[in-house]
Structure 1
Amino acid sequence: MLMLFGGSFNPPHIGHRIIAEIAYDEFKPERFLIVPSKNPPHKSIDFIANFDKRFSWCERVFFEYYFEVSDIESKLPSPSYTIRTIEYLMNFDKNIYLLIGEDSFKNFHKWYKWEEIVKKVKLVVYPRYFEEKSPYSVDFEYIKLESPIVEISSTEIRQRIKKGKTVKGLIDDKIIEEVLKEYN
């Protein structure tokens, strides 16, 4: 079984790390891929650090042997659609679990070829809100990851940096200086 955790990781933060650790512990996949998006179709290029930086940050944040940071999206056609990554990975493993946040899940019906995605993978959703029940309904199966709600986002980190506020403890010490320089 392969667990796929993709995102812009702009920058990767402690919340990403916590969710990955909980998902690994829950599912014990043979491979756990962290996949920074090369050219995310839903993000403005003006607000995103270049791929090589984000990839390097992820390598240092997700350093345990059971995580594998993959540059697959740098080799696939742009923009970085999840379905392309999944179809490529299915050449190696047909049992794929896709880990996404509840915030992304809320807009999942807007993803490129989302109907194909849910046919090819098992969707694992981690909570991002304090609501007991999600404010949306779906007609496909998904797994809700039992985990604490992590109230931090890459957007919030970038905003804190711009305002001169601390992000210590929110991002890994191994990358903090580079992240501050990038978004200041």
Structure 2
Amino acid sequence: MIIVYGGSFNPPTKAHKSIMVHLIETYKPKQFVFLPVGNNYAKPELIPFANRVDMLKLISKEYSEVVISDIENNESYKGTLDALEKLEKIHQDEIAFVIGADNLLSIEEWINYEKLIKRFKFIVIDRGRLDINGLIVSKFPNDQKQFLNVKLSLREASSLVRKDLNKYQDFLSDEVLAYVKENHLYEV
């Protein structure tokens, strides 16, 4: 199995690393792929792809099974389904896609979401704020087997770091914090 963890990673926090470590230790994937959104992704405050990749390298350097994909930065964004199909061809293995539980609330807005859910397994990171199993049963009664619920207690959020780095700098590893300061990111 290949685990693919997509997101903006803007910046990657201790929570992102905790999720990576937990999933590697729990599922023992052949590879763990970070799939950062590209520069063309319409998200406010998105710093350059190269900076986000550098920071992902810092949090994953101890793990030989981790790779960072540039698929979403090389082409115009065609959706998660397209990216996962490309990764499946590259790795020739089953793909499990990691999402935060909050993504279940808006997954119907994703490009080709129905095909995506039928085709790939999802590892849903449950931070205890939503009734994940209830959401899955009500929204996807015929596809419940496609979802694995992983409960983790995580407090770090990238949005808070971007809002006030000084207040939330402990959400970042020392290396990522040093990188942010050295490169004057997030208004430092």
When normalised by structure 2's length, the TM-score is 0.85
1:54-65 counterparts in 2 under 5 A? 54-63=52-61, 64-65=63-64
Structure 1 position 105, deviation (Å): 2.1
- Structure 1 residues not aligned, in runs of 5+: none
1:118-157 counterparts in 2 under 5 A? 118-131=117-130, 136=135, 137-139=138-140, 140-141=143-144, 142-145=147-150, 147-157=151-161
Equivalent position of 1:165 in the other structure: 167
Aligned length: 177
1:93-104 counterparts in 2 under 5 A? 93-104=92-103
Distance change (3 Å), C-alpha of 1:134 and 1:119: closer
1:40/1:80 contact within 8 Å kept: no
Distance change (3 Å), C-alpha of 1:62 and 1:128: same
2:40/2:73 contact within 8 Å kept: no
What code does the residue aligned with 1:107 have? S
Identity rate of aligned residues, in percent? 24
User: How far apart, in 1, do the equivalents of 2:132 and 2:82 lie?
Assistant: 31
3-state DSSP of counterpart to 2:156: coil
User: How far apart, in 2, do the equivalents of 1:94 and 1:56 lie?
Assistant: 26
1:10/1:49 contact within 8 Å kept: yes
Whose helix proportion is higher, 1 or 2?
2
User: How far apart, in 1, do the equivalents of 2:70 and 2:81 lie?
Assistant: 16
1:1-184 counterparts in 2 under 5 A? 1-39=1-39, 41=41, 43-44=43-44, 47-63=45-61, 64-75=63-74, 77-79=75-77, 81-91=79-89, 92-131=91-130, 136=135, 137-139=138-140, 140-141=143-144, 142-145=147-150, 147-161=151-165, 164-168=166-170, 170-180=171-181, 181-184=184-187
2:160/2:168 contact within 8 Å kept: no
User: How far apart, in 2, do the equivalents of 1:123 and 1:24 lie?
Assistant: 15
Structure 1 position 128, deviation (Å): 2.5
After the TM superposition, which segments of 4 or more aligned residues of structure 1 sit over 4 Å from their partners? 131-135
Structure 1 position 120, deviation (Å): 1.7
When normalised by structure 1's length, the TM-score is 0.87
User: How far apart, in 1, do the equivalents of 2:39 and 2:99 lie?
Assistant: 17
RMSD over equivalenced CA pairs, Å: 1.9
Distance change (3 Å), C-alpha of 1:42 and 1:74: closer
Describe the superposition over 1:51-87 as per-residue Cα deviations: whole angstroms up to 9, x where unpaired: 0110111111111112112222222x22262112111
1:39/1:78 contact within 8 Å kept: no
